Amino acid sequence: MWRLALRTLKFRRTSFIATFLAMFLGAAIVIGCGGLMETGVRMAAEPQRLDGAPVVVTGEQTYDATALTERHRIDPRLVGEVARVQGVRTAVGDVSVPATVLKDGKPVTGKSASYGHGWASARLTPYTLAAGKTPVAGGEVVLDADLARRAGARPGSAVDIVVQGTARRFLVSGIAEQHGDRNPDAAVFFTDDEARTLAGGRIDSVGVLPDPGARVTAVADAVRAEVGDRAEVLTGERRGLAELPGTLASQRTVVILAAVFGSSVVLIVMFGVASTLGLSLQQRAREMALLRAVGSTPHQLRRMILAETAVLSVGSVLLALLPGYAIGRLLFGVLTSSGVVSSAIVYHAGWLPMAVGAVVTVLAAAGATRFAGRRAARTEPVAALAESTAGTRWFSVPRLLLALFFLANGIGLAVATATVMDDGPTLASTAGPASVLFCIGLALLAPGITKVMVALLRLPVRAFSGLSGRLALRNAATANVRMAGAVAPIVLLIGIATGTLYMQSTEDHVSRTSYDRNILADYVLDSTTGGFAPGVVDRVRDTPGVAAASEFVTSRGFVDRAGGPDQVDLRGVSADGVRQSLDLPVIAGSLTGLRGDTVALSDKKAREYGVKVGERLPMHLGDGTAVRPTVVALYRDNPKQEYLTLPAATLAPHTGDGLPHQILVRTARDAGAGVHERLAALAAAVPGTELDDSSSLAGRNNQIQQILVSANYTIVAMIVGYAAITVVNTLVSVTRKRRAEFGLQRLTGATRAQVLGMLTVEGLLTGVVATVLGTVASATTIVPYSLVKSDSYLPSGSIGIYLAIVGGSLLLVFGATLLPSWRGMRSPAVETVKAA
């Protein structure tokens, strides 16, 4: 059987190339998504500034198994405790605080990051003195060489540095050179005491340097036993997570993204491979019939088909390993460039995703062989010879059950999306796969559905297309299985593309409009130097023409409740300006009470948490700090902007930089045009401050909402591209198989134009049927998603999206049908018939 299989592959190269291509591309995409999944699960980051410390002790970055979004700082007393652990030579406490060097009143680093540290941590990179001396007294600093060059500073000169939102003058005691170029950010080194004071008295991490000859794993275990649950001990490539607070919060996003699209890709690949291989076997019905007629047993035919499939699948998987790795890197690059994960995260693609890609491809091929080759292997020889020219049998009980399984699951996910899922980041995890499953279910029933729809289209086609239409209708009626083979992948293409693109456009519209309505401010001041000092907001309020001003802080935290913590968005505001800056219609209490240890929330959230005005709400802030603020106000719920509101002075110290980065400004009605100039002058007087109108806030929020857009579009483009290739493979294979049919038509008097006209009508029929089915399938994603997002059955977005998808699909149909047919008819009709 192996020799026969290899000879068959040799003499049927065209059909097997199409099958091989489907397997190859499918395996590559699955391997790429698998690499993304492994990267998300492992979530490792190479150390940068802490590269010289083999062991790093840092704050636990999770609360109740959920990642924190802000840095969880640790007690500085841990430095001494870790230093006394056996095998530890030195333990160095490390902090990072925003520190921006000014030149002529402007940041020399522009918008690039610049941080201050204690001098003791310089050895961890390492940094070494290139000139001057170490800082020994408050008010002295060491600048890294690049920062000193840009500032025009040297040992003994004075520089202005913005720390804690205020510009202060420091004496440059020395210049430090970085070795290894590991730290991408500008570095300012204070004395250790001053750095710790600027960080609020706590430290970020402890860098551990083991004794010479000590095993890193043994030292790490000893340190871990000493610190217990007060901190986390990192080694190897996970040490970089200590420098990237909040990075673990993106782990869930990456894993969900890889899981949702990976599962969809697996289904699509299995369907695509099965469809292509099934078509190839269907076109070989005559060959199978002849083999049965000369004495081959069903078992022998199954072995031959399985051998052919094994050769193709193994070869395609082996060749797909490297492209699959490249696809995974491409997807990961899109995630890092869009800000979903830090570029410091290490991409991992080991043997597991490659094994998954191989298994999926082989299983898809084996399944296709099982179903598509069964009828050819079991049919009696005479019946097989008769069927080889007709090819109209398609219905079977297993096929019906499988179709019902996919349809039921697609409908089930659509219903769950509309009735169970809340508006949040996981909404797409049920809405997206619904159309994929429904598409596959429709594709399995495509022969029967196609026959019914062609019958319904008979009258208009005959009325408008003449002889070409009648020929096309006869072909569609007698070869509905063949036509369904072309319809199925187009249904998949239209259904997935339409569902995903309109899901994204709806998300964009809802996010943009809801945020616009929530922001009442006219202007926003932005700090690029680590945040605003407390007095800046008062200066803004005192500006003529300003009606109100409020500090604005964003974070994420947790509300503690019996069923487990609920992760929520947090906003920090100023009590004196929040009513004029944000649309928070109060229904109980007063927002003016947002001072100190207080919180305001929506009436819906208050009912969920079981609290009223005057009661305390147990919470954990973004850095893991436990608080119990008193509820001072309830406001009307906005389901698109559900967040808890706290005083900015309370929330800001528990964020990464410890200060508000934005100030919302509401101008008086009679302020006139001069208020903009006055605010611009104030912004110029506060180093690193930019003035924008309030629309920039909405744009920035939309940018945050959009961090997954490029990744979504990239992965969807791969899926749609794979479906498009399957369409082209299918149509080209079908068209090449029909060359003899076209030759006979020409020998009986048909012209080339009439044959091409017939194919054009067939293409239109295929396109219409596929468009209807694809649109129905996409509705299982679009309708429930839109209901949850915007309380509408219709999605937001231009009709042009749908027209572009349908138009592109029709171009594929006509291009893959008419072009091969036109090329084939350049040969004499007699030669075409004889060659068949």
pLDDT given for residue 279 in this prediction: 66
Residue 38 lies in a domain: yes
Confidence category of residue 832, pLDDT binned at 50, 70, 90: low
pLDDT given for residue 704 in this prediction: 44
Q: Is the pLDDT of residue 543 over 50?
A: yes
As to burial, measured by CB atoms within 10 angstroms (0-12 exposed, 13-18 middle, 19+ buried), residue 237 is middle
pLDDT given for residue 703 in this prediction: 44
Q: Is the pLDDT of residue 379 over 70?
A: no
Last residue in a domain, options 637, 671, 693? 693
**Which range has highest mean pLDDT (247-251, 377-381, 680-684)?**
680-684
Residue 666 lies in a domain: yes
Mean pLDDT of 526-537: 91
pLDDT given for residue 376 in this prediction: 56
pLDDT given for residue 152 in this prediction: 92
Query: Which of these ranges, 275-289, 616-630, 690-704, has the smallest mean pLDDT?
Result: 690-704
Which one-letter DSSP state was computed for residue 523? E
Last residue in a domain, options 672, 693, 714? 693
One domain for residues 547 and 688: yes
Residue-wise DSSP of 588-610: EE-GGG--SSEEEEEHHHHHHHT
Closest CA to 389 of 268, 249, 283: 283
Element (H, E) at 178: strand 166-178
Query: Which of these ranges, 125-139, 420-434, 629-643, 780-794, has the smallest mean pLDDT?
Result: 420-434
Task: Tell me the three state secondary structure of residue 106.
Answer: strand
pLDDT given for residue 378 in this prediction: 60
One domain for residues 214 and 280: no
Angstrom distance (rounded) from CA 578 to CA 552: 9
Query: Which of these ranges, 121-125, 262-266, 388-392, 753-757, has the smallest mean pLDDT?
Result: 388-392
Q: What token pair was written down for 232?
A: 């986390």
Residues paired with 550 in a beta bridge: 664
Backbone angles phi, psi at 86, to 5 degrees: -60, 130
Residues 6 or more apart whose Cβ sits within 8 Å of residue 12: 280, 284
One domain for residues 679 and 607: yes
The answer to whether the CB of 140 falls within 8 A of the CB of 97 is: no
Confidence category of residue 387, pLDDT binned at 50, 70, 90: very low
Confidence category of residue 390, pLDDT binned at 50, 70, 90: very low
Angstrom distance (rounded) from CA 490 to CA 485: 9
Angstrom distance (rounded) from CA 773 to CA 491: 6
One domain for residues 492 and 542: no
Q: Is the pLDDT of residue 383 over 60?
A: no
One domain for residues 221 and 261: no
One domain for residues 83 and 31: no
pLDDT in tens, 582-606: 889 999 999 999 999 999 999 999 9
The answer to whether the CB of 588 falls within 8 A of the CB of 701 is: no
The answer to whether the CB of 537 falls within 8 A of the CB of 622 is: no
Q: Is the pLDDT of residue 459 over 50?
A: yes
- Domain extent at residue 772: 428-436+446-518+706-836
pLDDT in tens, 804-828: 999 988 888 888 787 777 776 766 7
Mean pLDDT of 157-165: 93
One domain for residues 760 and 832: yes
Mean pLDDT of 98-114: 90
Q: Is the pLDDT of residue 833 over 70?
A: no
Mean pLDDT of 121-130: 92
One domain for residues 752 and 821: yes
Backbone angles phi, psi at 243, to 5 degrees: -95, -5
Q: Is 555 left (phi over 0), alpha (psi -120 to 50) or beta?
A: beta
Q: Is the pLDDT of residue 119 over 90?
A: yes
Angstrom distance (rounded) from CA 28 to CA 687: 51
pLDDT in tens, 297-324: 777 777 777 777 777 788 888 888 889 8
Q: Is the pLDDT of residue 143 over 90?
A: yes
One domain for residues 687 and 711: no
Confidence category of residue 327, pLDDT binned at 50, 70, 90: confident
Confidence category of residue 755, pLDDT binned at 50, 70, 90: confident
Angstrom distance (rounded) from CA 118 to CA 141: 9
Last residue in a domain, options 693, 715, 731? 693
Residue 416 lies in a domain: no
One domain for residues 527 and 470: no
Alpha carbon 10 to chain centroid, angstroms? 42
Q: Is the pLDDT of residue 220 over 80?
A: yes
Residue 243 lies in a domain: no
One domain for residues 457 and 573: no
Residue 48 lies in a domain: no
pLDDT given for residue 368 in this prediction: 67
Mean pLDDT of 36-56: 88
Residue 421 lies in a domain: no
Residue 568 lies in a domain: yes
Whole-model pTM? 0.78
> In the predicted model, what is the mean pLDDT of the chain?
83
Mean pLDDT of 710-726: 71
Mean pLDDT of 636-649: 87
Name the domain count of the chain. Answer: 4
pLDDT in tens, 646-679: 999 999 999 988 999 999 999 988 777 788 899 9
One domain for residues 62 and 197: yes
Residue 637 lies in a domain: yes
